[in-house]
Amino acid sequence: MLQCKPSDEQNANNHFDHDCCRPERSGRWRSGSSDGHTGALILRRTTAMAPGERVPTVRQRRIAADLKRLREKKGLSAEQVVSKLPDLLNLPKLSRYENARSAVKPDTLEALLDLYGCDDGLREVLREIARQKDQRGWWRGYSDTINPLYTDLITLETQAVEIKTFEGFFIPGLLQTPDYAAAIISRLSAVTTGVEAMVDVRIARQRVLNRSENPVKLCAVIHESALAISAGEGVMREQLSRLAKMSRLPNIQIQVMPADARPNPGFNGSFCLLEFPHRALDIVLTSGMVRSSWVEDPAEVDIYRGSFHEIMAAALNVDDSLDFIVKKRDELT
């Protein structure tokens, strides 16, 4: 059984995922449902996209923002950069790179980082992102079903080494049974068709937990209210049985937040922290009333990291949580 513990630094200092979405005729994205981490949200494209143009991933936007920031910090105009690297760049191409409309080629990335005097730490982070940019997986077959934010989440889940999630109202998607997922999606979805595909995507995401090489570690804290009957007694009994089974796996830790728990950061809402081999790549997905958003700033990510360990400390321990889940299951006929 996995034991998630704060680091020495965390001791000293001491949503998730929105579901499959379909595009509306307007070109905006509306969430199909939440898996946990609040109800259905409106997810809109913030910039107009040309027909057939890919929506940039959160990682591509990170490279774009850093390239623009480094250029401006160096005091160079776009014209000056192009004049120094004429064999690699022109103004339209640099603009596409800085606005995440095109992926930066490795040799161009290195040349830009050299020109900007990028430090070794950030350079390695950006190299790692660039190496990941072409990853394609099973989810590409559902591109007409899931929205860009959800695609980002799925991609990052496959790359993460550990996922820490707090959920206040639903069972986390990585732990849901097909019947529970179908019931929740049907109840909260903003669409009336494609539920089966949405369930397929959600269940397929769970492969990261049982893959043969380097399965993802999952630390999940689930509020007691999420264990209440919300999808029918039979469905919930099966779901609680699955939680009990999953909690016994070596890479999974499940804790229950009791209703009478002391005040803790979980009161602020659900979130999911994804951790990677490069700590600077750690990222948080938060949930709000209107939209979900990524938190990438390392200092802010560390706040969520510390908050998660406070949430863990306020929850039942692993053994008591398993007993609580089994008791809830056995109360159902």
Spatial CB neighbours of 269, under 8 Å, sequence gap ≥ 6: 15, 37, 38, 168, 286, 287, 288
Q: Rounded distance, CA 278 to CA 260, Å? A: 37
Strand order in the sheet with 42-43: 21-23, 29-31, 42-43
Structural domains of the chain in order of their starting residue, each with its CATH number = 8-41+145-331 (3.30.870), 58-132 (1.10.260.40)
Confidence (pLDDT) at 28:
35
Farthest-apart Cα atoms in the chain, separation: 74
Spatial CB neighbours of 117, under 8 Å, sequence gap ≥ 6: 74
- Under DSSP, the state recorded for 15 is -
Other Cβ atoms less than 10 A from the Cβ of 41: the count is 23
Name the 3-class secondary structure at 249.
Answer: coil
Tokens matching residue 127: 């190299």
Ordered DSSP codes for 185-208: HHHH-S-SS-HHHHHHHHHHHTHH
Contact 71, 117 (CB under 8 A): no
Confidence (pLDDT) at 254:
99
Confidence (pLDDT) at 306:
98
Confidence (pLDDT) at 190:
61
Tokens matching residue 122: 């950030």
**Per-residue tens of pLDDT for the chain, all 333 residues:** 676 765 444 443 333 444 444 333 333 333 433 454 433 322 333 344 454 456 678 888 889 999 999 999 999 999 999 999 999 999 999 999 999 888 899 999 999 999 999 999 899 989 988 887 656 678 878 877 778 888 889 989 999 999 999 999 999 999 999 999 999 988 876 666 788 999 999 999 999 999 999 999 999 999 999 998 778 899 999 999 999 999 999 999 999 999 999 999 999 999 999 999 889 899 999 987 667 889 999 999 999 999 999 999 999 999 999 999 999 999 997
Spatial CB neighbours of 139, under 8 Å, sequence gap ≥ 6: 146, 151, 154, 155, 201, 204
Q: Rounded distance, CA 70 to CA 85, Å? A: 16
Confidence (pLDDT) at 57:
82
**Nearest to 39, CA basis, from 235, 189, 183:** 189
Q: Rounded distance, CA 187 to CA 179, Å? A: 12
Q: Measuring CA to CA, how many Å separate 127 from each of 107, 112, 121, 200, 330?
A: 11, 12, 10, 33, 51
Confidence (pLDDT) at 18:
40
**Packing angle, helices 148-159 and 195-205, rounded to 10:** 20
Q: Rounded distance, CA 276 to CA 175, Å? A: 21
Does this model's pTM top 0.85? Answer: no
Confidence (pLDDT) at 331:
93
